[in-house]
């Protein structure tokens, strides 16, 4: 196997593994894991706290709520909140969007993140 083929196979394996972790997320467990997020985020539409409401976050552009004052970093990030971007942001907010104002060091457990991401998908 040449280097290019090996690299392509490795990338494909990573993508499949990543997709599998999202498929295994459990919204009920995610709702419980979300408890650590509730200190700053509401799940009710139009109800912002220290952080913006996360109702409808799945598929939304970062920094899009008119009634919340986002950091300049979030506004210029050009991120749309997909399963992948939510997972990356929850894992390490500062790495994903440097200089954002969210004072959270991240959720290191991939299973918990997958569960929270799945829960966020239900908040339509």
The CATH number covering residue 66 comes to 1.10.760.10
pLDDT at 21: 43
| Tokens standing for residue 42 | 């509401």
pLDDT bucket at 12, cuts 50 / 70 / 90: very low
Paired strand residues for 80: 61
Count of the separate structural domains present in the chain: 1
| Burial class of 71 by CB neighbour count within 10 A (0 to 12, 13 to 18, 19+) | middle
Judge whether residue 83 has pLDDT over 80: yes
Domain limits for position 90: 3-121
The predicted model gives 53-76 an average pLDDT of: 98
pLDDT at 24: 81
Taking residues 12-21, what's their average pLDDT?
45
pTM of the complete model = 0.80
Sorted by sequence, the CB contacts under 8 Å of residue 78 that are 6+ apart come out as: 61, 62
Residue 25 predicted with pLDDT over 60: yes
Contact 113, 48 (CB under 8 A): no
């Amino acid at each position: 196997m040449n280097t290019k083929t090996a690299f392509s196979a490795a990338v494909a394996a990573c993508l499949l593994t990543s997709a599998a972790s999202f498929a295994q997320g459990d919204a009920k467990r995610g709702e419980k894991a979300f408890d650590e997020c509730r200190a700053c985020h509401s799940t009710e539409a139009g109800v912002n706290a220290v952080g913006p409401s996360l109702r409808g976050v799945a598929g939304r552009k970062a920094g899009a709520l008119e009634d919340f004052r986002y950091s300049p970093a979030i506004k210029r990030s050009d991120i749309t909140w997909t399963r992948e971007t939510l997972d990356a942001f929850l894992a390490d907010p500062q790495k994903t969007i440097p200089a954002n104002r969210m004072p959270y060091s991240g959720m290191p457990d991939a299973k918990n993140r997958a569960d929270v991401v799945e829960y966020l998908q239900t908040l339509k």
